[in-house]
């Protein structure tokens, strides 16, 4: 495949971090080789094309940012539609609006205006002022009836732990609005790339040598000899053979199914917060980037226990124990020469897409 040190950079991982690095370094005259152990580009942002419907194979991805420069950057590689995510939760045969807004408070408490909504929350807030865990935080923020109906079981299914044992910070990030506005994200720029995410990666990596279905770890001795510098975007604990133990992740099993109907649920995402429904949500992909077909593709998401090397790591569990373990790995990584670590797996950090693109752009500036 390559002679010794044929490349300036070996980039392990064709997700956003690796692909943005490859684009920028190639444009500045460096010779890059990108490898990914998966058979496709894009990491978890990968979308497949099934009869014209762009299927978000690893969880739905909605691009949102308030950073004008990043928005301009990503628009070099895709045209975005104006999709906005308005959440819906289904409990038995009742539907509720998410994130928590006046529609939700009207549906649960019958509130007709923000004064009534705030009063209902106070009345159902059980006098909590200094919450100690996620359950207490949620009751304080939206009252027990909203918590019981829309938060408790969803969260416990998602995290596999009682809400009383989860940190309150998880729920603090959720927007709560006292207006009839159900737009999930507050960001100025929002949308879905027309034609799916994969076409962004085709453009980011155009003119760059890329090998898919190639595992760096399995061929480490070889790959360590092909480039002057390696940028690694895989899992940091795996890189060091789990020397300090495994870092924990939340993971999900995606069950895709086709239905012979034009439109099955009338929304891109419906959440299922009930205890007796095993999955957490159903995605109907054609609503992200509408295409007229007489069939549709749905994905049910089932939370699963993560097993390193066997299931895909999705969301890092950034509690004190895991963060401390990550710092031990980071110290080892910092001691290596001609080797850099970046992206969500290598930095053990939850990144939205705009953040990871920004992080890669900042990182390459340190190399050029
Ligand atoms: P990745 O995309 O994971 O890329 C890392 C790549 O490295 C992978 O392709 C992997 O196969 C490869 N790799 C690992 N080890 C090796 C090895 N040994 N050899 C070769 N290759 C290797 N962000 C948003 O902004 N909006 C959303 O709506 C959103 N939804 C999300 C939903 C889910 C379910 C998940 C998990 C994330 C979501 N994100 C969302 C976050 C988004 O996916 C990340 O910001 C982005 O994918 C991070 O890119 P990355 O390059 O760091 O990692």
pLDDT digits over 78-105, tens only? Answer: 999 999 999 999 999 999 999 999 999 9
- Atom number of ligand 1 nearest to Cα 58: 34
Ligand 1 contact via 96 beta carbon (within 6 Å): no
Considering the entire predicted model, what is its pTM? 0.95
User: DSSP letters of 252-277?
Assistant: EEEEEEEESSS-SSSSSEEE---TT-
C-alpha pair distances (Å), 187 with each of 66, 67, 69 = 5, 9, 14
Return mean pLDDT, the chain: 96
CA distance 114 to 285: 34
Ligand 1 contact via 57 beta carbon (within 6 Å): no
SS3 of residue 250 by DSSP: strand
The residue contributing the CA closest to ligand 1 atom 3 is: 43
* Residue 350 CA, ligand 1 centroid: distance in Å: 10
- Conformation bin of residue 160: beta by default, left when phi > 0, alpha when psi is -120 to 50: left
What integer pLDDT is reported at residue 173 of this predicted model?
Answer: 81
- 39 alpha carbon, distance to own chain's centre: 20
Ligand 1 contact via 191 beta carbon (within 6 Å): no
**Closest listed residue to residue 348, CA positions, set 234, 270, 224:** 234
Ligand 1 contact via 234 beta carbon (within 6 Å): yes
Helix axes 102-109, 114-123, angle to 10 degrees: 60
* pLDDT tens digits, 175-195: 999 999 999 999 999 999 999
Pick the residue with more confidence: 154 or 308? 154
SS3 of residue 117 by DSSP: helix
CA distance 77 to 65: 16
Residue reference for tokens 């890092």: 316
DSSP run (H or E) holding 158? helix 152-159
Ligand 1 contact via 16 beta carbon (within 6 Å): yes
∠ at Cα 284 (43, 313), nearest 5°?
A: 30
* Residue 125 CA, ligand 1 centroid: distance in Å: 38
What integer pLDDT is reported at residue 368 of this predicted model?
Answer: 64
Average pLDDT for 270-295 = 97
| Residue 1 scores a pLDDT above 80 | no
Ligand 1 contact via 233 beta carbon (within 6 Å): yes
Ligand 1 contact via 345 beta carbon (within 6 Å): yes
Average pLDDT for 249-272 = 97
Contact 227, 8 (CB under 8 A): yes
Contact 319, 249 (CB under 8 A): no
Contact 353, 16 (CB under 8 A): yes
Pick the residue with more confidence: 159 or 299? 299
C-alpha pair distances (Å), 22 with each of 13, 158, 219, 253 = 10, 34, 21, 30
Q: Phi first, then psi: what are they for 55, rounded to 5°?
A: -95, 120
Ligand 1 contact via 9 beta carbon (within 6 Å): no
Residue reference for tokens 């012979």: 260
Ligand 1 contact via 204 beta carbon (within 6 Å): no
Q: Using pLDDT thresholds of 50, 70 and 90, give the confidence band for residue 5.
A: confident
| Residue 2 scores a pLDDT above 50 | no
C-alpha pair distances (Å), 296 with each of 42, 62, 195, 342, 353 = 23, 19, 16, 37, 26
Contact 310, 239 (CB under 8 A): no
CA distance 24 to 19: 9
* Residue 353 CA, ligand 1 centroid: distance in Å: 9
* Residue 39 CA, ligand 1 centroid: distance in Å: 14
Instruction: Count the neighbouring beta carbons within 10 Å of the beta carbon of residue 116.
Output: 15
């Amino acid at each position: 495949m390559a002679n010794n040190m044929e490349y300036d950079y070996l980039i392990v991982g064709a997700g956003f971090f690796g692909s943005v690095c490859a684009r920028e370094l190639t444009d500045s005259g460096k010779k890059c080789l990108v490898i990914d152990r998966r058979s496709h580009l894009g990491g978890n942002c990968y979308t497949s094309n099934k009869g014209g419907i762009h299927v978000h194979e690893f969880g739905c991805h909605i691009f949102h940012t308030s950073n004008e420069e990043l928005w301009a950057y990503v628009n070099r590689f895709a045209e975005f539609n104006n999709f906005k995510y308005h959440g819906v939760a289904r409990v038995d045969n009742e539907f509720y609006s998410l994130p928590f807004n006046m529609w939700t408070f009207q549906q649960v408490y019958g509130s007709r205006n923000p004064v009534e909504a705030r009063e209902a929350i106070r009345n159902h807030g059980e006098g909590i002022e200094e919450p100690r865990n996620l359950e207490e935080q949620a009751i304080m923020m939206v009252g027990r009836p909203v918590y019981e109906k829309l938060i408790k079981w969803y969260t416990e299914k998602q995290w596999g732990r009682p809400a009383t044992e989860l940190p309150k910070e998880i729920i603090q990030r959720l927007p709560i609005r006292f207006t009839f506005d159900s737009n999930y994200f507050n960001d100025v720029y929002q949308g879905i790339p027309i034609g799916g995410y994969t076409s962004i990666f085709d453009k980011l990596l155009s003119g760059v040598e890329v090998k898919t279905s190639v595992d760096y770890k399995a061929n480490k001795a070889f790959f360590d000899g092909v480039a002057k510098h390696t940028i690694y975007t895989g899992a940091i604990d795996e890189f060091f053979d789990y020397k300090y133990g495994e870092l924990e992740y939340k993971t999900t099993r995606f069950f895709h199914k086709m239905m012979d109907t034009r439109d099955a649920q009338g929304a891109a995402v419906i959440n299922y917060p009930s205890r007796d429904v095993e999955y957490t949500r159903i995605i109907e992909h054609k609503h992200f980037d509408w295409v007229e077909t007489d069939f549709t593709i749905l994905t049910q998401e089932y939370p699963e226990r993560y097993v390193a090397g066997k299931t895909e790591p999705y969301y890092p569990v950034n509690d004190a124990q895991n963060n401390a373990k990550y710092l031990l790995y980071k110290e080892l990584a910092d001691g290596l020469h001609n080797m850099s670590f970046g992206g969500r797996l290598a930095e053990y950090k939850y990144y939205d897409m705009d953040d990871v693109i920004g992080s890669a752009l900042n990182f390459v500036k340190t190399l050029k």
